[in-house]
Structure 1
Amino acid sequence: MTNKMIYDQASGLRRLNEPTLTKVIAVTGGKGGVGKTNVTLGMAMSMARQGKKVMVLDADLGLANVDVMLGIRPKKNLGHVLAGECELQDAITDGPLGIKIIPATSGTQSMVELSHAQHVGLIRAFGSLEEEMDVLLIDTAAGISDMVVSFARAAQDVVVVVCDEPTSITDAYALIKLLSREHQVQRFKVVANMVRSYREGRELFAKLTLVTERFLNVSIELVACIPLDDNVRQSVKKQKIVVDAFPRSPASLAISSLANKALTWPIPRTPSGHLEFFVERLLNRTEIVGEPFSE
């Protein structure tokens, strides 16, 4: 057997044993009411339609709404996990198109006041999940709480959803400032939501760019302009997501395009050095892949 044949066989075995790398995207916005959950679930459905294994974490631990928007009734949620009543695996609920949902709980003050250690424990718990995932989408809470910061910092990509309101721009800037100055997150992807035209979306992005370039050392990129679309409101009434209820509507097409783009964003091959989702899989992969096989 030649050296090349041995190397090819060893490479094949390593690929079979490599842990699956999961793309982790946090969708946030600083302000409530900007459409984060619609964007998150729309991306999830669009990705699932392409055969991707997708999980959605409802990280709005005090005012959960992913399950409500999907019209599902989970038996367990993160409240049960954090109370020690079940494992994270037990809280996974089946959603439409094969999407896996980890629901949060609503109206519980203790969930809003979790300690940093509890955030760390929850993020690390994802490393033990049995499910294979291509993408984990995190729908964060509004604001700049420790919880939002923990989940955003532990993701590979941070998507900031903004709309054309002064408070939306101000709150998005505050979030970017906090994450960059105190938590070393330097790259942000921006979604201009509920805009009346692509030009309005560009102008909205320009407003945010004006303050970030002046005061912060960050990279921000406009990745989508999602039009104002009455079909979104109609789909919410039906407890459906617009990409499912009205797949050819302007908002649906824009969200689907965003999902396609997100699937091309590279996944880091090595740990970042700070707390992150699925870091164990990256470490295991590094150990398994190692150096090229030699005699």
Structure 2
Amino acid sequence: MAEPIHDQAEGLRRLLVQNFLRIVTLTSGGTGAGKTTAVINLAAALTRNGKSVLVIDENTGAGNVCGLLGLNAHCDLLDVIRRDKTVQEVVVSSVHGFSILPAGRGMRALEKLNAGDRAHLIGSFAHITPPFDVVLIDAAPGRASRSLSLALSSHEIVVVASPEAASITAAYALIKHIGGNCQNKRRYHILINKAVTEIEANTIFSNMESAASRYLGISLQFLGYIPYEHKLCPSNPLPKSLSATSFGAAFQHAAESLIHWPFEEDEGRGLERFMQCLLQGSPGSQGTRMNAVTAES
């Protein structure tokens, strides 16, 4: 019996994208939006959907991804830069099925690397295993130059904001900063975290979307909202008890949306290509557009 046309189309789509790598930067205008918790839960949801996920964590301290998951990360991307470790040796596996690359110290060192160190670092990512489908970057808050560099290098940007006025204002300011210095980056996805109701989240997004379109010429996409969950605590950012609740369903919906985002021509080129772009966009890199970027205004 012939396979239905829609099944054939879906099979072809899967075949075409199975070797593609999608790199997504999650950022926020400041602290308190729940970005790292969102990264952890989104990574877990993507893993449950059959995707191989790597989280690149730009944060340091107990509040980063490994810290919240209770994992001991003895090494960092900086150890790869110093040639003390391979990328494979630095990557940490979580019990939830996704991998983490601690990169807080290493990211800060990128702008100081010479040509030889840059070539070594790019080559280090060429053979990382397993082949990842999605890379989520947990960007450190409050570093405008790094956020811009990550925006230039990743395929998609997810801006996480909470209903707090300060969080919304900071998120909008970050979009304005990136958009003003990165003219070709026009896809921004908004994730409203800790929303009390869906109406509240929709209102926040609608206001942000209207302002961004009118004053910045930027189109925002609504990734969704994560309901406020009082049972969630910093020491347990991924509780099993919430997987069947609206909290877990919200991340499942966000993961499914991300999976079905359309692919662009430059996607699927591998982590080494991402690192090359990131190095070219580092604030200290010579001969790049980043030299024209001033401090955050």
Pairwise TM-score range, normalised by the shorter structure: 0.7 to 0.9
Who is 1:9 aligned against? none
Structure 2 contact 161–191 (Cα < 8 Å) conserved:
yes
CA distance in 2: counterparts of 1:41 and 1:62, whole angstroms: 16
Who is 2:9 aligned against? none
Aligned amino acid, residue 91 of structure 1: V
Q: Secondary structure at the match of 1:48?
A: helix
CA distance in 1: counterparts of 2:267 and 2:231, whole angstroms: 41
Who is 1:34 aligned against? 33
CA-CA distance at 1:260 after TM superposition: 1.2
Aligned amino acid, residue 79 of structure 2: H
Matched, 1:241 2:238: yes
CA-CA distance at 1:198 after TM superposition: 0.6
Who is 1:198 aligned against? 198
Using the size of structure 2 for normalisation, the TM-score is: 0.76
Q: Which of the two has higher C-alpha Rg?
A: 1
Who is 1:209 aligned against? 209
CA distance in 2: counterparts of 1:186 and 1:192, whole angstroms: 19
Who is 2:221 aligned against? 221
Structure 1 contact 61–111 (Cα < 8 Å) conserved:
no
Q: Secondary structure at the match of 2:37?
A: helix
Structure 1 contact 61–112 (Cα < 8 Å) conserved:
no
CA-CA distance at 1:117 after TM superposition: 5.4
Q: Of 105, 111, 116, which residue of structure 2 is paired with 1:115?
A: 111
Matched, 1:261 2:257: yes
CA-CA distance at 1:269 after TM superposition: 3.2
Which of structure 1's runs of 4+ aligned residues deviate more than 6 A?
118-121
Q: Of 251, 260, 273, which residue of structure 2 is paired with 1:279?
A: 273
CA-CA distance at 1:180 after TM superposition: 1.3
CA-CA distance at 1:183 after TM superposition: 1.6
The CA RMSD measured in Å over matched residues stands at 3.1
In the comparison of the two structures, how many residue pairs are matched? Answer: 257
**1:65-100 deviations in whole A, cap 9, x for unaligned?**
100111111232223223332222221111123211
CA distance in 1: counterparts of 2:194 and 2:218, whole angstroms: 25
Who is 2:248 aligned against? 252
CA-CA distance at 1:245 after TM superposition: 4.4
Q: Secondary structure at the match of 2:56?
A: strand
Aligned amino acid, residue 202 of structure 1: N
Gaps of 5+ in 1: 1-14, 281-295
CA distance in 2: counterparts of 1:116 and 1:124, whole angstroms: 18
CA-CA distance at 1:28 after TM superposition: 0.7
Q: Secondary structure at the match of 2:23?
A: strand
CA-CA distance at 1:195 after TM superposition: 0.7
Map 1:1-295 → 2, pairs under 5 A: 20-60=19-59, 65-105=64-104, 112=108, 114-115=110-111, 125-184=124-183, 185-233=185-233, 236-237=234-235, 239-242=236-239, 244-270=240-266, 277-279=271-273
CA distance in 2: counterparts of 1:221 and 1:141, whole angstroms: 22
Structure 2 contact 33–167 (Cα < 8 Å) conserved:
yes
CA-CA distance at 1:209 after TM superposition: 2.0
Aligned amino acid, residue 217 of structure 1: G
| Identical positions, percent | 26
CA-CA distance at 1:53 after TM superposition: 0.9
Q: Secondary structure at the match of 1:98?
A: coil
Q: Secondary structure at the match of 1:192?
A: strand
CA distance in 2: counterparts of 1:210 and 1:175, whole angstroms: 16
CA-CA distance at 1:148 after TM superposition: 2.1
